[in-house]
Amino acid sequence: MPRKKKEEVEAEEEEEDDFLPPLEEDEEEEGNKKKRKSTRQKKSTTEKKVKTDDSLLKEGQEAPDFEAQDANGNKVSLSSFKGKKVVLYFYPKDNTPGCKKEAIAFTENLSKFEEKGIQVLGVSSDTVKSHLNFTTKAELKHTLLSDTNLDIITKYNAVSKRSGKTAQRITYVIGEDGKILKVYPKVKPEEHASQILKEIDSLKPVTFVPSVSDNDNEEGDEEDEE
């Protein structure tokens, strides 16, 4: 069996829950305790260095425009869907278990999204060729966009906290006016498409009001530029 590439391993790790299961006091093997404790410490240190979910774009904010290639090499831009709702979901890597479940669920529910006039776009850092392979193997019908340089992923603050090279699994629902209606920072791959369909009709536009932390971040950015 061929060894998995480092990126594939990182992507599969990205699919794991953010929290490890709690330690049980009656664990018999001391070696297991030390190993799990070490893993927790490393994870804690890593999380301190990365942005929290507070860094995600907020509901009511203008969704950043972008242009990227789909699985067939065609250029697709967000602005071309102005006047329609858009489900923009980010995922770690093509052909990994969780990503496949999520993608298939979107394809199986695609007709329901289309009936509501909703465009579904999946984004990862995989190549166009990889997307074509994934689309063919999993018989996907919705659009997948290639973002190998992490341009879109960065604009939407969706860069993986674990690897920094792929996307984390988050979703933005964008309204007809181009503003963000809903942010899903945590999703269950196989249930996510159905979850959005249940909630999307009740989503209402909101006015984005910058928080103190948002203002602090902007000031910090300006200081860095000086």
Taking Cα atoms as reference points, which of 142, 173, 172 lies closest to residue 158? 172
Asked if residue 83 lies in contact with residue 103, where contact means CB atoms within 8 angstroms, the answer is no
Helix (H) / strand (E) element for 81: namely none
- List strands edge to edge, sheet with 118-124: 75-77, 67-70, 143-146, 118-124, 85-90, 170-174, 180-184
Residue 99: active-site member: yes
Asked if residue 7 lies in contact with residue 95, where contact means CB atoms within 8 angstroms, the answer is no
Question: Which residue out of 56, 68, 99, 170 is catalytically annotated?
Answer: 99
Write down the residue that tokens 């009001």 correspond to: 209
Write the Ramachandran bin of 83: left for phi over 0, alpha for psi from -120 to 50, otherwise beta: left
Taking Cα atoms as reference points, which of 175, 129, 177, 172 lies closest to residue 153? 172
What's the residue count for the chain?
Answer: 226
Which residues are the active-site residues? 99
